[in-house]
Amino acid sequence: MCWLDTPKSWEWMLENWAQVYKIAGVNSQDRILFAFSFGPFLGFWTAFESATRLGCLCIPGGGMSSLARLTALIDNGVTVLCCTPTYAVRLAEVASDNQIDLSKGRVRVIIVAGEPGGSVGSTVTAVEQFWAGAKVIDHHGMTESGPVSYGCPKRPNVLHVMEKSYISEILNVGGDCKVLEGGVGELILTSLGRVGSPLIRYRTGDLVRLSKRSDCECGSSELSLEGGILGRTDDMVVVRGVNIYPSAVEEVVRSFQDITEYRVEVQSQGSLNELKIQVECSTKCVDSESVGHRLQLVLRSTFGLRIPVAIIARGTLPRFEFKAKRWIRR
């Protein structure tokens, strides 16, 4: 996807990122590692440039291995890490494999984006435990829109839409009816500052749950999305009449500390779908078969479905630096 921006539009996006940093408590004394490969995706560049405007020491992590990024993080006293939730877990895994004690580092804030995990409670808990209590702040945006939301500093499973920058609506998927509080629908955005390529009632494809707009613990009255981005409109899978969202499966899987990586296979036969889950356990796990059995029981309790779980050898599944692709359709 190609997207052309004017200088005015670019400045507007940098201001939106500045709001994310403000909520995360980032200031000019911070040292930020941007742990991703710098391709043409504008989210990388706006995040980096906005942080330089704040006076932060900014360290680009492009073209580096995970171990090299960890070394740079420790050696340079990095206090803020920017990456996907998956890659925050991956870096912790590499640190463990190489006897690197993350508690001796200085990272206090991890700003995540690109995946639902930043607003998935069990994933946030896992990342914060791996990183010695560093605070996870979620954020989301798109090429078409630019930076859209920031994680609520008081409620870790809620995103607030920056309504100084967007007119936002939540409509039923494929329709024009507004979703009531507590309902799930598609996020619709009209941009107010990207003058070179404005959006007008743009269907983002993001599935969200409408939460209370007022009386948030953080004091914000901006649109609240409970659970952050639940998934995409084309990600939801119906299995024997039950709607399954990727973020809901992640919530369950990440509640098991012994699981380091997983993959979901969707097998379709005609109009019928079935799920199978493969998981890898950490080197510290003493009984992987027990973990698989317990995961299967929790999945059945959560979704009312029997979802087979297979334990596979460590290192079998792919690792991801950017958006993880854990759902495979067959």
In this predicted structure, the answer to whether residue 77 has a pLDDT above a threshold of 80 is: yes
The answer to whether the predicted template modeling score (pTM) of the entire model surpasses 0.75 is yes
Q: What is the pLDDT of residue 252?
A: 94
pLDDT digits (tens, 9 = 90+) for 20-31: 999 999 999 999
In this predicted structure, the answer to whether residue 221 has a pLDDT above a threshold of 90 is: no
Q: What is the pLDDT of residue 231?
A: 84
Asked if 157 and 182 touch (Cβ cutoff 8 Å), the reply is no
Three-state secondary structure readout of the chain = CCCCCCHHHHHHHHHHHHHHHHHHCCCCCCEEEECCCCCCCHHHHHHHHHHHHCCCEEEECCCCCHHHHHHHHHHCCCCEEEECHHHHHHHHHHHHHCCCCHHHCCCCEEEECCCHHHHCHHHHHHHHHHCCCCEEEEEEEECCCEEEEEECCCCCCEEEECCCCEEEEEECCCCCCECCCCCEEEEEEEECCCCCCCCCCEEEEEEEEECCCCCCCCCCCCCEEECCCCEECCCCEEECCEEECHHHHHHHHCCCCCEEEEEEEEEEECCEEEEEEEEEECCCCCCHHHHHHHHHHHHHHHHCCCCCEEECCCCCCCCCCCCCCCEEEC
Q: What is the pLDDT of residue 38?
A: 80
In this predicted structure, the answer to whether residue 322 has a pLDDT above a threshold of 90 is: no
Residue 2's contacts (CB-CB under 8 Å, 6 or more residues apart) are none
Asked if 67 and 92 touch (Cβ cutoff 8 Å), the reply is no
pLDDT digits (tens, 9 = 90+) for 299-314: 999 999 999 999 999 8
Q: Give the class (CATH, top level) of 7-151.
A: alpha beta
In this predicted structure, the answer to whether residue 98 has a pLDDT above a threshold of 70 is: yes
Task: Please give the structure tokens belonging to residue 182.
Answer: 């507590």
pLDDT band at 199 (very low <50, low <70, confident <90, very high): very high
Q: What is the pLDDT of residue 213?
A: 67
pLDDT band at 219 (very low <50, low <70, confident <90, very high): confident
CATH number at 237-329: 3.30.300.30
pLDDT digits (tens, 9 = 90+) for 101-125: 999 899 999 999 988 888 888 999 9
Fold of 158-232: Luciferase; domain 3 (2.30.38)
pLDDT digits (tens, 9 = 90+) for 162-180: 999 999 999 998 888 999 9
Q: What is the pLDDT of residue 259?
A: 94
Residue that has been written with the tokens 């939801």 in this structure: 236
Q: What is the pLDDT of residue 82?
A: 96
Q: What is the pLDDT of residue 214?
A: 66
- The stretch 279-287 carries a mean pLDDT of 91
pLDDT digits (tens, 9 = 90+) for 51-72: 999 999 999 998 899 999 999 9
Q: What is the pLDDT of residue 1?
A: 79
In this predicted structure, the answer to whether residue 47 has a pLDDT above a threshold of 70 is: yes
Q: Where are the domains of the chain?
A: 7-151, 158-232, 237-329
Task: Please give the structure tokens belonging to residue 164.
Answer: 């100084």
- Considering only 82-96, 165-179, 215-229, which range has the smallest mean pLDDT? 215-229
Q: What is the pLDDT of residue 270?
A: 74
Higher pLDDT, 53 or 39: 53
